[in-house]
Amino acid sequence: MALEIERRYLLLPLRVEYFLKMFGMNFEKYEIVQSYLLRDGKLGRIRKLNDKYFLTIKKGEGLVREEYEDEITEDIYKNILNSSDDVKTLYKTRYVVNIDSYDYEFDEFEDKLKGLVLLEVEFKNEKEALNFNLNNSLKNVIVKEVTDDRRFDNSNLAISQTLPYL
């Protein structure tokens, strides 16, 4: 298992692609279908990212979490979906931009979560994460940091299918 060290931010509702183009930022774009599965009392995640499929298990919360992720086949993906007790799914478009040597991952949610935009920045270690300062071009669109606010965890968003109140 690897450690996932990331900070998360709630952004104002915006069209991410337009915003990034306005600032002349190059980005990679991914369509994501992310499903959370309750199986034998445990929560897991499977993800379709463009034409690839992944199984992920995370432990912990907040800034540092344990993460196990493995690429799976489309058949395994479908099999897991069909054999789970309860499935909660969310849809989002992810835009990845490299700014100041960090990958900024902008998630623009769709369907019932339309209007929600989150930003995640991952780090190599906890010290780097704690000393991190956002790029100035983003400060006017950040509502607040939500790293420690479980309501903004993707699993909770998928389960509730509602936008959290601030």
Q: Per residue in 1-59, pLDDT tens?
A: 789 999 999 999 999 999 999 999 999 999 999 999 876 666 789 999 999 999 998 88
CB 87 within 8 A of CB 43: no
Please give the pLDDT value at position 62: 87
**Which residue in 114, 116, 50, 44 sits closest to 80, CA to CA?**
44
Mean pLDDT of the chain: 93
Q: In angstroms, rounded to a whole number, what is the distance separating the alpha carbons of residues 121 and 134? A: 9
- Domains of the chain by residue range: 2-151
Please give the pLDDT value at position 104: 98
CATH superfamily of domain region 2-151: Hypothetical Protein Pfu-838710-001 (2.40.320.10)
CB 96 within 8 A of CB 103: yes
Catalytic residue among 18, 30, 36, 165, which?
A: 36
Q: What is the DSSP string of 84-152?
A: -SEEEEEEEEEEEEEETTEEEEEEEE-GGGTT-EEEEEE-SSHHHHHT----GGGTTTEEEE-TT-GGG
Please give the pLDDT value at position 143: 97
Q: Establish whether 36 is a catalytic residue.
A: yes
Residue 158 reports pLDDT greater than 70: yes
CB 77 within 8 A of CB 37: no
Please give the pLDDT value at position 84: 79
Higher-pLDDT residue of 136 and 92 is: 92
- Local confidence band at 85 (pLDDT 50, 70, 90 cut-offs): confident
Higher-pLDDT residue of 65 and 147 is: 147
Can you tell me which residue has the tokens 């979906």?
81
Please give the pLDDT value at position 38: 73
Please give the pLDDT value at position 60: 82
Q: Averaged over 153-159, what is the pLDDT?
A: 94
First vs last Cα of the chain: how many Å apart?
A: 33
